Amino acid sequence: MASAKDYDAAARKIRELGPEPPPGTLDTRRLVHLATLAASSHNSQPWKFRIERDRITVLPDYTRRMPVIDTDDSQLFHSLGCAVENLVQAAAAQGYDAEASYSAAVDGVVVNLERSAWAKAGDLYAAIPARRCVRKVYDGHPLGRAELAKLTGIGRGGRSQTLILVTDAAKEAVAEFVTQGNALQLTDRAFRRELAAWMRFNHGEALRRGDGRSARATGRLVPLPGLPARLMTKQIFDPESQSTRDAKQIRSSAGIAVFVAGEQDKATWVDVGRACQRFALQATALDIRTAFINQPIKTKALQSQFEEWLQLKGERSMLMLRFGHGPKAPFSLRRPLDDVIVAA
Ligand SMILES: Cc1cc2nc3c(=O)[nH]c(=O)nc-3n(C[C@H](O)[C@H](O)[C@H](O)COP(=O)(O)O)c2cc1C
């Protein structure tokens, strides 16, 4: 039977990148490797990469979509945006400018790579293998002014805006919205069934699949046999205990970042994913933790009330992260590179 030690060794190996290529040498396989370390909805990794000489196209893998929580595929395209942001940062480290844009013709994000004397590795690049979601209680302290300024600046760009909330009143209000979201989501059978399909309830299951939300990375679940666990989702995903945990974690955070956008299309959803990943990389570079709290946004019945509270004018809320200093957490797994690279 696989142990936590086996799991951690595999997670570490996934993040071993080998020596940096000499400056100016384009190593596209390495770029894809770094892209796959990005966040994705339920760690579904809904991406495929087509490599050409100086171009990588990031394509959606619709076999990995989530019809219950993600009816319009917006989360799938946010996930592609997260991978694209890693790719862009990694290309700079190889001395290449990366121009990324969504193309309706190929239904994917085309990333054109061009040698540049100015492109070089930055803090965000170095943070790629260290970034992870930390679903734990943070230290409860506010961030310093310089840290907050860096995070606020990094969230800007493309079609996405980032709102930063740091007051206790705002955190309380968000915790209340998250509680309402949990009550709606976790009492919905279809939602629970979809979530359970992406849960990896024990280390063996997580290692075999290389995707999904593992017991180890999620933090709170003790490893369980997969089949009985899937029949007990009502007991396992209990809204009250989830909300108690979430409220404590939100109160312990230094702040909350809400990613919003005006348009609703695939290009915009990609930009939102890019902004969110950039924010998480900048946080990691500053030794700040992040975790998603999307319940008020991904619950149709709550989203409008939440946006009214945020006083949005014509924009929609798309993703939400809490952030703050705190402990580290185990990494999640990834599928082998050969599974996500498709022929040109
Ligand atoms: C679009 C999107 C939506 C997500 N939604 C949630 C969420 O609602 N709750 C949560 O705990 N994590 C959420 N995540 C985080 C993923 O579960 C996480 O990125 C994935 O498990 C991989 O783990 P890592 O980010 O630690 O590498 C989301 C990530 C993305 C990109």
Question: Per-residue DSSP letters for 284-298?
Answer: HHTT-EEEE--TTTS
- Tell me the pLDDT of the chain averaged across its residues: 95
Among candidate residues 27, 94, 18, the one with its CA nearest the CA of residue 56: 27
57 lines ligand 1 (CB under 6 A): no
Identify whether the C-beta of residue 26 lies closer than 8 Å to the C-beta of residue 59. Answer: no
pLDDT band at 220 (very low <50, low <70, confident <90, very high): low
40 lines ligand 1 (CB under 6 A): yes
Domain chopping of the chain, boundaries? 4-132, 145-324
Query: Is 82 a pocket residue for ligand 1 (Cβ < 6 Å)?
Result: yes
Q: Determine the residue of 7, 40, 289 to mutate for testing ligand 1's pocket, defined as the one with the most ligand atoms within 8 A of the Cβ atom.
A: 40
Residue 321 Cα to ligand 1 middle (Å): 10
Rg (the chain; Cα; Å): 19
Residue 230 pLDDT grade (very low, low, confident, very high; cuts 50, 70, 90):
confident
Model confidence pLDDT, tens digit, residues 104-135: 999 999 999 999 999 999 999 999 999 999 99
Question: Ligand 1: which atom is nearest the Cα of residue 74?
Answer: 1
| Backbone dihedral angles phi then psi of residue 186, each to the nearest 5 degrees | -80, -5
pLDDT tens column, 264-320: 999 999 999 999 999 999 999 999 999 999 999 999 899 999 999 999 999 999 999
Whole-structure pTM value: 0.97
pLDDT(237) > 90: no
**Which whole number is the average pLDDT over 219-240?**
78
pLDDT in tens, 316-341: 999 999 999 999 999 999 999 999 99
Pairing mode, if any, of strands 289-292 and 341-342? unpaired
Per-residue model confidence as pLDDT tens digits over 42-58: 999 999 999 999 999 99
Identify the residue whose C-alpha is closest to ligand 1 atom 15: 41
- Say yes or no to pLDDT of 5 above 90: yes
Query: According to CATH, what is the number of the domain 4-132?
Result: 3.40.109.10
Answer whether 4-132 and 145-324 agree in fold: yes
Give residue 293's pLDDT.
Answer: 98
CB of 83 closer than 6 angstroms to any ligand 1 atom: no
At 13-48, the pLDDT tens digits run 999 999 999 988 999 999 999 999 999 999 999 999
Of 60, 306, 266, nearest to 159 (Cα)?
266
Nearest CA to ligand 1 atom 12: 292
144-158 pLDDT per residue, tens: 999 999 999 997 777
pLDDT of residue 219: 80
Q: Which pLDDT belongs to residue 137? A: 98
Ligand 1 contact, 333 CB (< 6 A): no
CATH T-level topology, domain 145-324:
NADH Oxidase (3.40.109)
Tokens linked to 21: 């290529």
Our answer on whether the CB atom of 202 is closer than 6 Å to any ligand 1 atom is no
Give the H/E segment covering residue 85.
helix 74-93
